[in-house]
Amino acid sequence: MCGIIGYIGQKKANGILIEGLKRLEYRGYDSAGIAILDQGEIFPLKCVGKVHELAKKVQSHFQHSGTIGIGHTRWATHGNVSEKNAHPHLSNGNNFAIAHNGIIENYLPIKAFLIEKNYKFYSDTDTEILANLIDYHYQKEKYLSFAEIIRKSLLHVEGTYGIVVLSKIFKDEIVAARKSSPLLIGLGNGENIIASDAAAVARYTKRVIYLNDGEIASVCSDNFSVITLGEGSVDMVYHELDWEIGDEDLGDFPTHMLKEIFEQPSSIENAMRGRFTEDASSSKFGGLSLTPQEFRSVERLLFCACGTAYHACLEGKYLIEKYARIPVDVEYASEFRYRNAPLQRNTLVFVVSQSGETIDTLAALQEAKRKGYPVMGITNAVGSTIARATDSGIYQHAGLEIGVASTKAFTSQLTILSMLALLFARVRDMDDFSGRQYVYALKTLPKTIKEVLKLSEQISAIAEKYYGQGRFLFLGRQTMYPIALEGALKLKEISYVHAEAFPTAEMKHGPIALISEESVCIFLATQKEMLDKTMSNIQEVKARGAKVIVITSNTQIAWEVFCNEVIKIPETHPGVNPIVSTIPLQLFAYYVGLLRGCDIDRPRNLAKSVTVE
């Protein structure tokens, strides 16, 4: 969940490291640091807070101009947020500096061993143990290469890691290694960059290699080599980044989250581009290696995901079961790996992760493959671990998403899952006419989203009325229930307000005890067949003093008579209705967070890519 970068080349490392950390800051932002090798010594500089604070320190009094260095932006796992716990960490004697993403599970016995060897520790982190373990192996066998020292050290380590290591002994190389934490090498002309995310290297090169678990790379300015923990050979695969320079810029928007909300007409269109049949009656995915006969033979689907992606999968369950009549299970990936869930024959597994690096989802993927099931991936990150580990899959093509709270990645997942529902339905029972109606609704979805985004000022005004309330309940039936869950999650993430979501009818089975004058209830009332029931539920909360906001596409009912606020969205096909209904909830969460003075793009305690358990 932390951002890592390393640079080796001909340019001054400081500026490149700081620039890279700014582009990685969405992965962690409670502290940051760099370490530069200059004139044979390692010089660290660290600070608590965001990367711009580190940049100020570099500019004001960091004079070192070496051309090799490493950097890190932290999301704390071991030790509180303090300068002593910020990375990079140095070994005793300053022979080695290390930046680390992950958790070393057996750090206590390693620390006890090193203390016996007279090593001292100055931080509360597990990472410092690694720095001293590397120094121990160097002192023990000084004839070894840098990469071999790292390899021997990591043989003793249990847990997860993505590391970059700098040394004043080995002055012309940086060593990187990974286990369940992403690392890539950007290959330039007389310079190479190691990073935990392509965002940090895209401005300098489009040619990259991705390290796999158990691989250790020795990186010099003009070459690199890779070994494995087991000393096996490695055949490297080169990738070209599909990345537009400037994707990470704010443009005219004050925050990345608002920019990404307004990018959704384009990101949804990109998710659909080239994925409809020529007769416009169905969807197609070139990345899925299944024939129509194999699609028909699927008897059950299992989706594994976490957080926002889990909500997208729940929506997929409703749509696939409704239109394709295939039973669908949705599991939290973090639970699936330990639950020993029974899976029936002819089950197709999908894992969904916008980053393609979510460690719990990776573990679920490996568990499903271990049991012999075909596993497909849905991810936004080309070349990510999940993309490379699955049998086949679908790229979201949503573009870079920097805001920690997912918006356009979520709606692109919803779009793909809606298209999957159509695909499975068309190879089974859905007729041609119904398929064409569904495709038309999908193709016009970007235009519909643009209409909803015009409600931004109205939603901002509503947020201004209620941002001081202490409790928010989101309520929806059937396909609107997962959207209610996502609405509550967005509000919690962005504004730190207590928010919960329930199927509307479940409110009276317990949650109604929470209702008071301090409550705001947000109803998703878009399904015609459910309107009478939903209106009754609204009356129940109104009778107990709650404020009511309704999001609806129905214009026949005088909602203003018994609701405090009404947000009217276009009426659409049921297969895309959940996507349209998501937009007002994203905007509401955004404006509430803004009014409460929260850091919209970097909410406290959260990080974009969750690579620790």
Instruction: Give me the CATH number covering residue 105.
Output: 3.60.20.10
Q: What is the mean pLDDT of residues 519-548?
A: 84
204 and 60 share one domain = yes
400 and 489 share one domain = no
Distances (CA, A) of 136 to 35, 429, 584: 20, 66, 56
What is d(CA 452, CA 570) in angstroms, rounded to the nearest whole number?
7
pLDDT in tens, 174-190: 999 999 888 999 999 99
Confidence of residue 248 (pLDDT cuts 50, 70, 90): low
48 and 136 share one domain = yes
409 and 470 share one domain = no
CATH number at residue 387: 3.40.50.10490
* 238 contacts: CB under 8 Å, gap ≥ 6: 187, 207, 208, 209
- Adjacency order of strands within the sheet including 347-353: 328-332, 300-305, 347-353, 375-379, 392-395
Concatenated DSSP letters for 428-476?
TT--HHHHHHHHHHHHTHHHHHHHHHTTHHHHHHHHHHHTT-SEEEEEE
Domain tally, the chain: 3
- For residue 454, is it within any domain? yes
Show the tokens assigned to 396.
């979201």
Tell me which residue of 100, 159, 170 sits closest to 131, measured CA to CA. Answer: 100
Q: What is the mean pLDDT of residues 199-216?
A: 89
- 2 is a catalytic site residue: yes
- For residue 611, is it within any domain? no
- For residue 605, is it within any domain? no
385 and 293 share one domain = yes
Q: Which residues pair with 34 in a beta bridge?
A: 45, 71
Cα R_g (the chain), whole angstroms: 26
Q: Which of 2, 304, 313, 598 is catalytic?
A: 2
* Confidence (pLDDT) at 607: 64
141 and 69 share one domain = yes
Q: Which of 52-56, 151-155, 462-466 has the lowest mean pLDDT?
A: 52-56
What is d(CA 268, CA 442) in angstroms, rounded to the nearest whole number?
9
Decide the pairing of beta strands 375-379 and 347-353.
Answer: parallel
- For residue 612, is it within any domain? no
Q: Which of 259, 492, 547, 608 is catalytic?
A: 608
* 424 contacts: CB under 8 Å, gap ≥ 6: 295, 298, 320, 323, 324, 326
Q: Above 80 in pLDDT, residue 244?
A: no
- For residue 610, is it within any domain? no
Domain that holds residue 402: 250-443
Helix (H, G, I), strand (E, B) or coil at 121: coil
Concatenated DSSP letters for 328-343?
EEEEEHHHHHHHT---
What is d(CA 176, CA 133) in angstroms, rounded to the nearest whole number?
15
Enter the DSSP assignment of 212: P
68 and 189 share one domain = yes
Helix (H, G, I), strand (E, B) or coil at 610: coil
- For residue 609, is it within any domain? no
- 454 is a catalytic site residue: no
pLDDT in tens, 439-480: 999 999 999 999 999 999 999 999 999 999 889 999 999 999
Helix (H, G, I), strand (E, B) or coil at 520: strand
Helix (H, G, I), strand (E, B) or coil at 424: helix
Q: Which of 78-87, 163-172, 339-348 tops mean pLDDT?
A: 163-172
Confidence of residue 206 (pLDDT cuts 50, 70, 90): confident
Q: What sign for the dihedral angle of Cα 58, 63, 65, 66?
A: negative
Confidence of residue 608 (pLDDT cuts 50, 70, 90): low
- The last residue of a domain, from among 443, 465, 490: 443
Decide the pairing of beta strands 3-8 and 68-74.
Answer: antiparallel
184 and 57 share one domain = yes
Q: Mean pLDDT score of the chain, rounded to an integer?
A: 90
Q: Above 90 in pLDDT, residue 28?
A: no
* Confidence (pLDDT) at 328: 96
Q: Above 70 in pLDDT, residue 610?
A: no
pLDDT in tens, 60-80: 878 888 999 999 998 777 788
417 and 566 share one domain = no
Percent of the chain with pLDDT over 70: 97
pTM: 0.85
Tell me which residue of 588, 480, 582, 482 sits closest to 534, measured CA to CA. Answer: 480
* Confidence (pLDDT) at 384: 84
- For residue 548, is it within any domain? yes
What is d(CA 218, CA 216) in angstroms, rounded to the nearest whole number?
7
- The last residue of a domain, from among 184, 209, 240: 240
422 and 537 share one domain = no
Burial environment of residue 237 by CB neighbours within 10 A (0 to 12, 13 to 18, 19 or more): exposed
Q: Look-up: residue for tokens 């940086």?
A: 174
Tell me which residue of 599, 558, 600, 592 sits closest to 461, measured CA to CA. Answer: 592
75 and 110 share one domain = yes
Helix (H, G, I), strand (E, B) or coil at 412: helix
What is d(CA 253, CA 610) in angstroms, rounded to the nearest whole number?
26
pLDDT in tens, 374-414: 999 999 988 788 888 888 899 999 988 888 899 999 999 99
Q: Above 90 in pLDDT, residue 148?
A: yes
- For residue 78, is it within any domain? yes
Q: Look-up: residue for tokens 């537009």?
A: 244
The residue type at 606:
L
Confidence of residue 251 (pLDDT cuts 50, 70, 90): confident
> How many CB atoms neighbour CB 537 within 10 A?
22
- The last residue of a domain, from among 190, 220, 240: 240
Q: Which residues pair with 101 in a beta bridge?
A: 162
410 and 540 share one domain = no
